[in-house]
Amino acid sequence: MSGVRLAWLRWSARRPDARAWGLMLPGTGWLLVFFMIPLLLMLVYSFMPKGMYGGVVAGFTFEHYLRFFDPLYLKILVTTVLYAAACTVLSLLMGYPVAYVISRAGPWKNLLVFLVIVPFWTSFLVRTYAMMFLLADEGLINKVLLALHLIEAPIAMLPSTSAVMAGLVYGFLPFMVLPIYGSLEKLDPSLLEAAEVLGAKPFARFMKIVLPLSMPGVVAGSLLVFIPALGSYLTSDLLGGAKTFMIGNLVQQQFMKANNWPFGSAASFVVMAVVLAAVFGFLRQRDNSEAGGL
């Protein structure tokens, strides 16, 4: 009996009290009203026939999901995944050194973190327009190159796939730097000192100690960059024009121009399913690798 009572007392100690549940109500209610309910409405719309003049009519159909698997839309999806993956890789290659330097910056650490956060003070739209002013034919980059006599005529950088990639990396790079910095900040310097004493070269110390211990930040940063890059449409619309068409542009056009809400909803859920499958597959593979290493 004493064992049962002890187990009850332990469970009661861990159980959230009424005050804890009360603190959860505002956030839970907000997510329910402005996230879950609209999401469920989109799910219902994705299975309803399109009205003659837009909107939906009563009924049930898989037509919109089947339509998405047309080669045209599949090509857009594959292209978008490639763009998002390239953005993630470039952000990692550029963001990791920045995060490493910040974590070793001593008294300058807070200032450098502040500089990484500064872009968040302006809207994504404003930052994208700033990229347009830089890359335009009469923009700053072309003017500087002309003034230095490095080119004879302005370089046409807009619209282009390269401009879209530059805009994506510029917009999402801080999402890569901050998680990696958080992991590197927790790294115990004595581990590197011990490895150096044992004769490990700088590259070996990085590969055997720094990189493995910073992998949680790398994984978090990669997900934080890949997922929003996959759904981005503003950057490709402004910097890519008709040359670059991502899945976000397809969804935006179906809702705002074609007035085809059912197909736009179906496309959104297909992309969501692809993202969830990729994330869960990646996390499961990582957990299996860690378990195998143990």
- Map tokens 């996230």 to a residue: 35
Q: What's the residue count for the chain?
A: 294
| Nearest-angstrom CA–CA distance, 39 and 265 | 9
Give pLDDT, residue 125.
Answer: 85
Give pLDDT, residue 60.
Answer: 92
What are the φ and ψ backbone dihedral angles of 54, each rounded to 5 degrees? 105, 175
Q: Supply the CATH classification number for the domain 70-293.
A: 1.10.3720.10
> pLDDT tens string for the chain (294 positions)?
455 566 555 655 555 565 666 777 888 889 889 889 999 999 999 999 988 877 788 899 999 999 998 998 999 999 999 999 999 999 999 999 999 999 988 889 899 999 999 888 888 888 888 888 888 888 889 899 899 888 888 888 888 888 999 999 999 999 999 999 999 998 888 888 788 788 888 888 888 888 888 888 998 899 899 989 988 888 988 898 777 889 989 998 898 888 899 999 999 999 888 888 877 876 776 666 555 444
Give pLDDT, residue 293.
Answer: 46
Domain edges within the chain: 70-293
Q: How far apart are the first and last CA of the chain?
A: 38
Bridge partners, residue 13, by sequence: none
| Nearest-angstrom CA–CA distance, 248 and 131 | 20
| DSSP annotation string for the chain | -HHHHHHHHHHHHHS--HHHHHHHHHHHHHHIIIIIHHHHHHHHHTTSPBPBTBSB-S---SHHHHHHTSHHHHHHHHHHHHHHHHHHHHHHHHHHHHHHHHHT-GGGHHHHHHHHHGGGGS-HHHHHHHHHHHHSTTSHHHHHHHHTTS-SS----SS-HHHHHHHHHHHHHHHHHHHHHHHHHT--HHHHHHHHHTT--HHHHIIIIIHHHHHHHHHHHHHHHHHHHHH--HHIIIIIGGG---HHHHHHHHHHTS--HHHHHHHHHHHHHHHHHHHHHHHHHHHHHHHHH-
pTM of the model: 0.84
Which of 227, 224, 210, 237 has its CA nearest to residue 271? 227
Q: Is the backbone peptide bond immediately before 159 cis, with ω within 30 degrees of 0?
A: yes
CA 284, 38, 76, 64 torsion-angle sign: positive
Contact 167, 128 (CB under 8 A): yes
| Nearest-angstrom CA–CA distance, 103 and 179 | 11
Tokens of 183: 């992991």
